[in-house]
């Protein structure tokens, strides 16, 4: 079983950007971004599809 390594997930100072380092196939899935302010809330959903390594021959 894979283990969760939260050190690979980094947010910038205002948490408006998520960076996943050393992306692997286990990162595949649905991610939801939620933005909230005094006017309201909005969200966006996306699918991260991770393909295998590129091989040159």
Predicted confidence pLDDT, tens digits, the chain (57 residues): 456 678 889 999 998 899 999 888 888 999 999 999 999 999 999 999 988 776 666
23 lies in some domain: yes
User: Could you give the number of structural domains in the chain?
Assistant: 1
22 lies in some domain: yes
pLDDT of residue 56: 63
Q: How far apart are CA 38 and CA 25, in angstroms?
A: 37
31 lies in some domain: yes
pLDDT of residue 19: 93
2 lies in some domain: no
Q: Residue 17 belongs to what domain range?
A: 8-48
Q: How far apart are CA 50 and CA 18, in angstroms?
A: 16
57 lies in some domain: no
Q: What is the dihedral of CA 23, 44, 33, 3, to 10 degrees?
A: -40
């Amino acid at each position: 079983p894979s283990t969760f390594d939260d050190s690979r997930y980094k947010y910038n100072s205002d948490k408006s950007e998520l960076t996943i380092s050393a992306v692997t196939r286990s990162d595949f899935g649905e991610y939801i971004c939620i933005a909230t302010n005094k006017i309201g809330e909005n969200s966006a959903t996306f699918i991260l599809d991770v393909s295998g390594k590129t091989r040159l021959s």
